[in-house]
Amino acid sequence: MKNKVSCSLFIALTGFLTILICSKSSPLYPLNDWVDANCYMTVGRAMTEGILPYRDLFEHKGPLLYLLHASAAMLSDSSFAGIFLFEAAACIWFLSLSDRLLRRFTGNSSLWAIPFLAMTVYGSYTFCHGDSAEEFCLPLILCAFITGLEAAENEAPLSGKSSFIMGIIAGIIFWTKFNLLGFFIGMFLVLAVISLKSGISALVRMCSYIVLGVGTVSLPVIVYFAANDALFSLCEVYFYNNIFLYGGEGTSLLTNLANGAVFTAKFLPIGTLLIISGIISAIVRRKRRYLQYGGISLITAFLGAFAGHLSYLYYPLILAPFAVIFGAAVIPYAGNLMRKAGRFVAPASLVLCMTGAFLLSPNTYLMKYSKKELPQYRFAEIINKTDSPTLLNYGFLDGGFYLAAGIIPDQKYFCRNNLDYPAMREAQRRCAEAGIPDFIVTRSASGEYPDFEHYTCIAHEEFPYYDKNLHYFLLMRK
């Protein structure tokens, strides 16, 4: 019992330190300046005021992601402190599940490997900024894999309880970012074939419980939007727009997949090595069922993440659970050597891997800045000299200026996102040309800004955003 508690505390400490170092939501950073994260936070803050996503504020991620940020906003509506706590909890859960999976292969704890896996995933370049939908789905994917693993290995039908849990997980991810559900298709196909061997009734039973789990998550979402007369807006923005308007110019499926493979190898390099070496190990050790269950899930997860269009930096993160899944097949080879190193191997691993995470993470450059050096807070100081100011984030994704100034947007198109949606651009242009908001914030890489008749530029800041400097401009109504 004492040993179990010690292991849990070690994993919790590892998870907390990992997010503290690697996520820009951490209190060690002045602000999470990622535009996507600020879009989520602005919508979440607005939801606490009774404003609805899609209908009142145009943003296209899943409603559960906004609900998470609304919950975080109730903990702190002026920072990412609430999100930091949720990220730490998700990381601890992910590492606890990783330890559980490792124990299946080793028969005992491999605590030394937990900080290594944390560094591999959260210290990677694909863990950019922190607070992505992919990040929060990591423990859910690993939980789903473990839930169905025993049935897959024993070629036995999935139990009703496990099927219901799989359905719950699928429902949560579906309403968070539905293209991340690719892994579930692979798991379902393998488990469906196994169930069918026991008869059609076993397959129907599994499917029924999965549907029940998905429905349990989906019903409150549907009722919420229907009750607020916003069901059409939900369907239009979250489904239609994401499927048909996201991603810019069309590229071929082969090009998209090749681009995804390059991104994965480049930005999740240690994880890619674990996946490849783990697959080889599973083949050598003749773990056919494990290889089949994990391999097909990996393929469908990859297709779901990358088939639609060219990649963004954070896309490969969704494959990180497979670094654990297949890493579990190869990490035990180092287990005996690590155990011979004595009882201090786990603390030494924690120190080394957290140091490695700090050195490898693309985010830590922002630690050296204070709030007063950021354009968001410099502009906020000026904006808040006006009573009840209004603000428009013009021509780019939410830069964190609403959060810094403590403003809830009063325009549906409060920023410009990555959808190819002419109405959004036109609505922002009309708003600026009519002189509606008190202030406009915009940015460019060139140092130029749009000239609107009713506004004059009163502040200009240049600040780094990863490997490039961006110019930010604050325009005030004349």
Query: What are the helix and strand counts (H, E) for the chain?
Result: 20, 4
In angstroms, what CA-CA distances link 249 with 30, 245, 309, 310, 420?
35, 9, 8, 9, 9
- pLDDT value for 3: 81
pTM of the predicted protein model = 0.96
Cβ atoms 124, 163 nearer than 8 A: no
pLDDT digits (tens, 9 = 90+) for 350-404: 999 999 999 999 999 999 999 999 999 999 999 999 999 999 999 999 999 999 9
CA distance 443 to 35: 12
pLDDT digits (tens, 9 = 90+) for 159-201: 999 999 999 999 999 999 999 999 999 999 999 999 999 999 9
Mean pLDDT score of the chain: 95
Share of the chain above pLDDT 90, in %: 88
- pLDDT value for 336: 64
pLDDT digits (tens, 9 = 90+) for 77-132: 999 999 999 999 999 999 999 999 999 887 777 899 999 999 999 999 999 999 99
The distance in angstroms from the start CA to the end CA of the chain is 69
Three-state secondary structure of 376-428: HHHHHHHHCCCCCCCEEECCCCCCCHHHHHCCCCCCCCCCCCCECCHHHHHHH
List b or e across 275-306, with b for residues whose CB sees 16 or more CB atoms inside 10 angstroms.
bebbbebbeeeebebbbbbbbbbbebbbbbbb
Coil, helix or strand at residue 468: strand
CA distance 454 to 473: 15
In angstroms, what CA-CA distances link 174 with 281, 294, 342?
33, 20, 45
Cβ atoms 392, 441 nearer than 8 A: yes
Q: What is the DSSP string of 67-113?
A: HHHHHHHHH-SSSSHHHHHHHHHHHHHHHHHHHHHHHHHHSS--TTH
| Pick from 326, 322, 270: nearest CA to 298 | 322
Q: Give me the domains of the chain, ranges plus CATH numbers.
A: 2-365 (no CATH), 368-477 (3.40.190)
pLDDT class for 324, splitting at 50, 70, 90?
very high
Cβ atoms 113, 332 nearer than 8 A: no
pLDDT class for 333, splitting at 50, 70, 90?
confident
Residue 406 CB neighbours (<10 A):
13
pLDDT class for 331, splitting at 50, 70, 90?
confident
The mean pLDDT of 226-253, rounded to a whole number, is: 91
- pLDDT value for 249: 65
- pLDDT value for 261: 97
3-class SS shares of the chain: helix, strand, coil, % to 5: 65, 5, 30
- pLDDT value for 106: 75
- pLDDT value for 341: 61
- pLDDT value for 1: 57
Cβ atoms 392, 454 nearer than 8 A: no
Give the tokens for residue 151: 């049935």
